[in-house]
Amino acid sequence: MVKVGIIGASGYAGAELYRLLLNHPHVEIVAISSQSYEGKMISHLYPSFYGVFDMIFTNDQEVIEKADMIFASLPHGLSEKYAKQCDEQGKKFIDLGADFRLDQEKDYQQWYQHDYQYPQLHEKQVYGLSEVNREQIKQASIIGNPGCYPTSITLGLYPLLKNHMHKDEKIIIDSKSGTTGAGKSLTEDTHFPKCNESFHPYKIASHRHTPEIEQELSKMAHQAVHVMFTPHLLPVNRGIISTIYVPLKDNVDFDDVYDIYQKTYQDEYFVRVLPKGQVADLKFVQYSNFCDISLHYDERYHQLIVVSTIDNMVKGAAGQAIQNMNLMYDLDEKEGLMMIPASF
């Protein structure tokens, strides 16, 4: 059994972690921590766990002491010190925050206004996009779990960029997320009277996921890739849907593109390339670890339109983290993640 601990377990991603891990046959949750709720039972915060998982929130050090596999679900700038402790003790660490996603410290400084506390740790980090970096993840001890928007976007573009079927032009990305993506702390935009019956863009041309998206897409294409990324807030609890517009090379046929996507993901259980004519819908991935992709062709402009949708709390956070843990421990990737989305 893998002894698992969760630091920052009172947030939405933390709650998703233990909701999913409770169904994992090879995991024992040994400790969970919360600074705000230390000493209180989980059901005090999330009544759905009453009588099912009555663990009490403890402190961060007890989590590291008891667990061999530590998940951290914390705001940026807080995870490095725990990663250092885990590294010194030979324990595995998966960060659901932003501290281990970017390769270059200058990007982290620019977009998150923080320096690396322990630069040597970042030489060990692996970007945890499971379907793309599988072999590196298996050997890693520190994983930077991808952001929710980047997960939907990178999986949506990977086959196209890997096979160099796109023109070397800016890619336009229009993404929408449910309100859980903003976390539990309220902002002006996430108060119910503001976000209910509303739909609006935010952080236009300035969202912190932009350098992560460009970094990973550039790796896939083996050349610099630039994006125009605009996120929007949907008045729903969970889910992300990204609509991506990509000019195709003149000699590229849409049928060839579709075939490449099918071949790339044919053995990937959690990525579903939908039949031609169907449109990916966030409703049919909610509460699951699936990424649904539909492909569409604008004949007038010879452009590919990719629609990629995930549950931001599962494939975009806790589910992908567990998928990465499974890889690190040579377990079946699907363990603990076999939830089927509801149909209505």
Residue boundaries of the structural domains of the chain: 2-146+315-328, 149-312
> Which residues share a beta bridge with 186?
none
Query: What gap in Å lies between CA 6 and CA 64, rounded to an integer?
Result: 9
Q: What is the pLDDT along the chain (344 residues), one digit of tens a residue?
A: 999 999 999 999 999 999 999 999 999 999 999 999 999 999 999 999 999 999 999 999 999 999 999 999 999 999 999 999 999 999 999 999 999 999 999 999 999 999 999 999 999 999 999 999 999 999 999 999 999 999 999 999 999 999 999 999 899 999 999 887 666 565 666 656 666 667 789 999 999 999 999 999 999 999 999 999 999 999 888 999 999 999 999 999 999 999 999 999 999 999 999 999 999 999 999 999 999 999 999 999 999 999 999 999 999 999 999 999 999 999 999 999 999 998 88
**Structure tokens belonging to residue 268:** 């990937």
Provide CATH code, domain 2-146+315-328. 3.40.50.720
Is 195 a known active-site residue? no
Exposed, middle or buried: residue 281 (CB in 10 Å: 0-12, 13-18, 19+)?
A: middle
Q: What is this structure's pTM?
A: 0.95
Are β-strands 92-95 and 142-144 bridged in parallel, bridged antiparallel, or unpaired? parallel
Of the candidates 51, 54, 45, the residue with the CA atom closest to the CA atom of residue 8: 45
Output the pLDDT for position 185. Answer: 61
Q: What is the pLDDT of residue 200?
A: 87
Strands (E), the chain: 2-7, 27-32, 69-72, 92-95, 125-127, 142-144, 171-177, 200-201, 227-233, 240-247, 271-273, 291-298, 303-310
H or E element at residue 321: helix 319-328
The H-assigned helical ranges of 100-209 are 105-112, 134-139, 148-162, 192-195
Under 8 Å between Cβ of 101 and 36: no
What's the CA gap between 246 and 225, in Å, rounded? 11
Residue that the structure tokens 């160099």 belong to: 164
Long-range contacts (CB closer than 8 Å, 24 or more residues apart) made by 264-268:
264/158, 264/159, 264/162, 265/131, 265/159, 265/293, 268/131
Write down the pLDDT at residue 198.
72
**Are the beta carbons of 177 and 233 closer than 8 angstroms?**
yes
- Helix or strand or coil: residue 109? helix
* DSSP notation for 83-106: HHHHHHTT-EEEE-SSTTT-S-HH
Q: Count Cβ atoms below 10 Å from residue 271 Cβ, excluding itself.
A: 24
CATH number of 149-312: 3.30.360.10
